[in-house]
Structure 1
Amino acid sequence: MRNVRHTLAVVVATVTTAALAGCSADPANLPMPSDLTRHGYPLTVEFTNALNLPAGAKVSFDGAAVGTVRSIDLRDGAVAVGVEVDDGIAIPADSTATVTQDTVLGDAYIKIDRPGADANNAALNPNSRIGRDHTVSPAPLEDTLAVLANFLGTGSVQRLEQTIGKVNAALPPTTDGVRKVAGTLAADVRSLAADTTDLDRMLTSADDFTQVVIRHAPDLENILSPHAMKLWANLRLLIANIGILLPSVGSVYTGGNWLVPMINSLADTLDSASSTGVGFADTGASLQHFLQTTLMPLLSKPSVDVTSLVTADGSEHLDDVANLLRMLGAVR
């Protein structure tokens, strides 16, 4: 009897050892204790890479854990992550999924976000797929740490501190002062919001002006052409010379006071002629005769005809003076 029991124990040990040797147990595939009571439907989420996302990681939706990562496989050049979502949780069809971490050293998990208001809000069916066009892969931890080290090591923190110090120096020192500044800013924003009609009118005017400029683009190109630039340069010189000439012309008017007595005398002459009954036509003819026979010849060839030279005692000395001037060569 003892031998039979010993033999049975040896057989059982042998069978158990063979079973354990023929099977391998992966701790990563073992369910988490909290997942033992979960029941849900499967979904597949595709990523370009999943990095250190472990099997058994949680699936979050609307800020709550709604599922678990069951498997991670390579399929058609993408990482196919099989998840199990709790029954009763409806995931919209156009949702986006992201592999994220709450902290730098925290556990990675899948976060599902709702789509926009105008997206397809139909729920995903079991065994549905969220494609790579609706997923965001995580940044490598090394790159994140490199960016953080670069931020901390290049003086960015000091510059940020200096910026905050400048802002603090610009703001009032008291809370009431800051509140007053904020109230003024709010009033300005409200005033700007109330005057949107004026802003629209200004923008419309600017658009109309732009359209006018576009319609007259050929004319503007002609005005700004090299030939036109030469014309504008010559016009500038012409205007500059006119500017020099105008003061000279103006000096004739300002310095022409000597004409006033002559014009007054001419007016008196015309008045005398009209008072004596002489017509203006006769006066004009006489004036024309005077100009043609006396004044114009004198201006063209200045000379004087002396007809008499009488001294105080009444004697005539014209011939004597003529002989003297002839000897001097003044007359012929």
Structure 2
Amino acid sequence: MWIRQRSPLVWVVLVATTVSGCGLNPVRMQPPTFGGPPTVRVVLEFSSALNLPAGAKVTYEGDNVGSVRSVALEGGVVAVAANLDSQARIPAASTAAIVQDTVLGDCYVSLGRPAGVDTGPSLTDGARIPVGRTRPPASIEDMMTSLSSFIGSGSIQRLGGMLHTVNAAMPPTTDQTRKVAATVARDLRSLASNSAEVDRSIDTLGELAASLKNQAGVLDDFLTADSVDFWTKIWAGIASVIGVLSALGDIFGRGAWLIPLLDSVSTALEQTGPPGGGSTIDTFTNQTLLPFLLDPRVEIAEVATPDGVNRTADTRQILAKLGALR
């Protein structure tokens, strides 16, 4: 049987391949692309990229859009180079985070749409997302430390006490609980149906707050020590005036009996009047009122009834019997 002798060149290639394969890292091997979509190379800066391997997937809003090419330390930050699908149209202002779906799951990079930005330029080849818009992964050690602190600080006991308090505050029967839940649901529906009024109230409060802010100088002056002393005294004075007015009102209410008397005095003054007609009050007082008070007497010239009958004699007899007639 004839056996073909292998060429020495073939043996050299096989030995070189075997030796070089001993130092080959499969993770660094990039799969070849055969007519796939074009990609853009971007760099994501993280403060930490713990457990993020080269070749990890990159997602945008849940869809796979690329993979990590390399992870390296550059200028105090971790530069994660990634190849992204250019047809994904990822905004240039996107955020990035290294996440892990499960405790034992693989880490990968998740890109997110920036808050308040719907459209904008897309990431281009060579673009970078700075460390200010990225979030490093949460380490298992930190998670276990937080969980240990939560358990050891008595939070579970406090949670149990809170649930016990809530149960004690609930109605004792299921029917009453349903009524309470129905009332709360009705109130929430009413609040939802009147959201415009709630918004208007909030806007009014906002306008009031803005007005108070604009009048901060006036409020500061109003709340000084001198202003406080002034308003304290003026309110005390107003309270005193109100007390006086209330007392006067009581006097006027109880002095209704003076009205006929004052009306009679007014009528008498109108009928008698100051002598001389047109004299001043001083003349009336000096010539009429004071002499009468010094020697009070009334001269009765005639007494007649409304129908014209003269009763002067009868009046004299009655006054004489009373001792009022001189």
Q: Report TM bin, short chain.
A: 0.5 to 0.7
SS state at 2:275 partner: helix
The equivalent residue for 1:94 is 93
The equivalences for 1:1-332 within 5 A come to: 16=15, 20=19, 25=23, 27=25, 29=27, 31=29, 41=39, 42-85=41-84, 89-116=88-115, 117-125=117-125, 127-164=126-163, 170=170, 173=174, 177=179, 180-181=182-183, 183-195=185-197, 199=201, 202-203=204-205, 206=208, 210=212, 214=215, 217=218, 221=221, 225-226=225-226, 229=229, 232-233=232-233, 236=236, 240=240, 243=243, 270=268, 281=275, 288-289=286-287, 291-293=289-291, 295=293
Counterpart AA for 2:124: L
Q: Deviations over 1:95-137 (max 9, x none)?
A: 2221111123332111122345444242433x44333243222
Q: Flag as ranges the 4+ runs of structure 1 deviating above 4 A.
A: 15-19, 35-40, 86-90, 161-172, 174-179, 200-205, 207-211, 222-225, 237-257, 259-268, 282-291
**TM-score, scaled to structure 1:** 0.57
Pair 1:107–1:165, CA change in 2 (3 A): farther
Displacement after TM superposition at 1:60 (Å)? 2.2
Counterpart AA for 1:71: S
SS state at 2:195 partner: helix
* 1:57–1:110 contact (8 Å) kept in structure 2: yes
Displacement after TM superposition at 1:31 (Å)? 4.5
What CA distance in whole angstroms lies between the structure 2 residues aligned with 1:77 and 1:85? 24
Pair 1:281–1:253, CA change in 2 (3 A): farther
**TM-score, scaled to structure 2:** 0.58
Larger-gyration structure (1/2) = 1
SS state at 2:194 partner: helix
Percent pairwise identity: 27
Pair 1:122–1:29, CA change in 2 (3 A): closer
Displacement after TM superposition at 1:238 (Å)? 9.0
For structure 2, the 5+ residue unaligned runs are 297-326
For structure 1, the 5+ residue unaligned runs are 299-332
Q: Deviations over 1:283-315 (max 9, x none)?
A: 9989855654574599xxxxxxxxxxxxxxxxx
The equivalent residue for 2:315 is none
What CA distance in whole angstroms lies between the structure 2 residues aligned with 1:296 and 1:230? 54
* 1:115–1:121 contact (8 Å) kept in structure 2: no
* 1:92–1:124 contact (8 Å) kept in structure 2: no
Q: Which has the higher helix share?
A: 1
Pair 1:130–1:190, CA change in 2 (3 A): closer
What CA distance in whole angstroms lies between the structure 2 residues aligned with 1:184 and 1:121? 47
Pair 1:69–1:246, CA change in 2 (3 A): closer
Pair 1:51–1:201, CA change in 2 (3 A): closer
Q: Deviations over 1:227-275 (max 9, x none)?
A: 7726843873796499479859977995897x8998799789x59x96x
What CA distance in whole angstroms lies between the structure 2 residues aligned with 1:264 and 1:43? 106
SS state at 1:195 partner: helix
Displacement after TM superposition at 1:184 (Å)? 0.9
Displacement after TM superposition at 1:71 (Å)? 1.8
Displacement after TM superposition at 1:194 (Å)? 4.2
Q: Deviations over 1:163-219 (max 9, x none)?
A: 4555565489469647634641343223422436863785588479749x939928x
Query: Aligned-pair RMSD on alpha carbons?
Result: 5.4
